[in-house]
Amino acid sequence: MKLSATTLTASLLVTVIAVLLIIPMMLQWERPPMDSTQWGSRGLGMEHIVNPRLAEKLKEKNVLPTPDDPVPNDGKLVKDDHENYKNVQVLGDLDTAQFNRLMGAITLWVAPQDGDNAGCAYCHNTDNMASDEKYTKVVARRMLQMTRTINSTYKTHVAETGVTCYTCHRGMPVPANIWFTNPGPKQAGGFAASRQGQNVAHEPIPAFAALPYDPLTPLLSKPGENIRIVATTALPEGTGGDVRKTETTYALMMHMSTALGVNCTFCHNTRAFSNWQQSRPQRVTAWHGIQMVRDLNANYLGSLANVFPPNRKGPDGDVAKLDCATCHQGVNKPLYGFSMAKSYPELSVPNP
């Protein structure tokens, strides 16, 4: 049977379109072999799968800075040295030598670049170090309070490992993994305005799955929201939500899995996902992490709404917020569990 030129052209066009659709998918695929670790009893599917090639690349991205050598105390607190230290609102309880060591470390953690607005000048007017004229200094002050809160109040999540500015910043003024409220993709008006609850697979937060593209605003921006998709009564109203809330929860779980470089079995037992008694201990740690992130977004980053300039805000005018990837950056323990905080104990005391 002979095919017409029109039919051949149409077939070729369909083939080209199929290839163009498949290639982006193939770029997301991972070739074998994989490393597998069994975390539960046999037959339960409690396994952790790791791509050794991607794991090696993560190691390259988690190179640790060498902590500065400890310095002997000089016996004078910053808050008592009014001649040399003015307008120190957070770290005044430190010895002056300890304070200067920490300021040097923060410079390397956050703004090590060269230039007129790098190093100390990223936050300070170097002609008047006490001045608050740069918004970055006000932000840094609040971030120091936040760091102390994490290390002293949220040991249920960070344990004794703790965090420093470097945990999130990794030598950059703005951490690589932050987020804003997502207004969603542009779409036509009229009858085409509603997608009838259908999601768009285009955002990295839910791992490019066809799930809600902004699960973080409802679930990680404020305290108090229960993340529950399994009914607590015989009827589905026991969950207090509908399928959209379920999909939002799944989107958050996809984000957490990607952020930590793990699959569901890192926290959950595949035999009973909702059962806490049959879950791994990591689920409790993750729960405390969610409470911590909500607190930090609402009470620390959220408190800077009037400090950040418009160019540092999101499409809806909100400030940048943190999520699991901000600290973890692809590994289940930030910086593979190496504790920088122990070298800087001044970041682990409660705020005055």
Categorize the per-residue pLDDT at 5 as very low, low, confident or very high, splitting at 50, 70 and 90. low
pLDDT band at 32 (very low <50, low <70, confident <90, very high): confident
- CATH number, domain containing residue 91: 1.10.468.10
What's the DSSP call for residue 67?
P
If asked whether residues 320 and 345 sit together in one domain, one would say no
- Does a structural domain hold residue 102? yes
Farthest-apart Cα atoms in the chain, separation: 96
pTM of the model: 0.86
Residue 251 lies in a domain: yes
259 and 338 co-located in one domain: no
Question: Are 308 and 228 part of one and the same domain?
Answer: yes
What is the count of structural domains for the chain? 2
Q: Quote the domain boundaries for residue 338.
A: 69-174+332-352
pLDDT band at 241 (very low <50, low <70, confident <90, very high): low
Using one digit for the tens of pLDDT, what is the confidence trace for 315-341?
999 999 999 999 999 999 999 999 989
DSSP bridge pairs for 38: 47
Arithmetic mean of pLDDT, 132-145: 96
Query: Is 159 in the same domain as 226?
Result: no
**Residue 212 domain-assigned (yes or no):** yes
Same domain, 214 and 131: no
Please name the residue that has the structure tokens 């490992």. 161
Pair 122, 241 in one domain: no
Q: Are residues 219 and 320 in the same domain?
A: yes
Contacts of 54 (CB under 8 A, 6+ apart): 30
CB 200 within 8 A of CB 185: yes
Please answer whether residues 63 and 54 qualify as being in contact, where contact means their C-beta atoms are separated by less than 8 angstroms: no
